[in-house]
Amino acid sequence: MSMREFFQYIDATRSSTALRESYYVFPIVEGTHVISLALSVGLVIWFDMRLVGWILRDQPVSTVFRPIRPFMLAGFGLSFVTGGMLFWSLALRCYGSPFFWAKVIMLALAGVNIAVYHLTIDRRQEEWDQAASPPLQAQMAGLISLVLWVGIITAGRLMAYFL
């Protein structure tokens, strides 16, 4: 099965059609997807900016990250579930949208960035937790995350505009 056939298959499922044609559910899911940005990206930026060393420099990195994490994760959970539903309902149109693929690639890169950060420099966090300016690798992780989220929101908005 080619990628296109796979997307076609999703698009033709009863659940996809039902969601696409629903009068209330689709706008509610779309609205929730947009508003959940405030919880997910709206909160992750504080941690990213702390990693870069732009704000809250007098606070240990761990005290910025740990208490925010549950709220941020709830936000990302909501973003992914509603985003997944939107994709499911519009799979074929997504396939033809360059902005969709740009968004998917940037989401994957954001995932890699998070994994690399947690598996490497974050392992030695006690050594630089108090530092106003964390080591370069941690700063880069924060900066890359900020750039990717701006890109992901931009691609998502353009995708919806041209779909």
Partner 1 sequence: MWDRLYPYFLWIENTRLGHGIRESKWTFTLSEVVHLLGLTVLLGTTLLLALRLFGFVLTRKSVESVAREVMPLSMGALGLTLLTGTLLFTSEATKCWGNIAFRYKMLFLFLSLLFQFTALQKVTRDEERSFSPWIRKTTALVAVFLWFGVAVAGRAIAFF
DSSP conformation class of 123: G
Q: How far is the CB of 52 from partner 1 (least distance, A)?
A: 13
Of 98, 71, 86, nearest to 31 by C-alpha is 86
By CB under 8 A, residue 74 contacts partner 1 = no
Contact 53, 132 (CB under 8 A): yes
130 SS3 class: coil
Rg (CA), the chain: 18
By CB under 8 A, residue 148 contacts partner 1 = no
Where do we find the tokens 């579930």?
Answer: 81
By CB under 8 A, residue 19 contacts partner 1 = no
Binding mask 30-69 for partner 1 (x = CB under 8 A): xx--xx-xxx-xxx-xx--------xx-xx---xx--xx-
Give contact residues for partner 1 (rule: CB under 8 A): 27, 30-31, 34-35, 37-39, 41-43, 45-46, 55-56, 58-59, 63-64, 67-68, 71, 150, 153-154, 157-158, 161
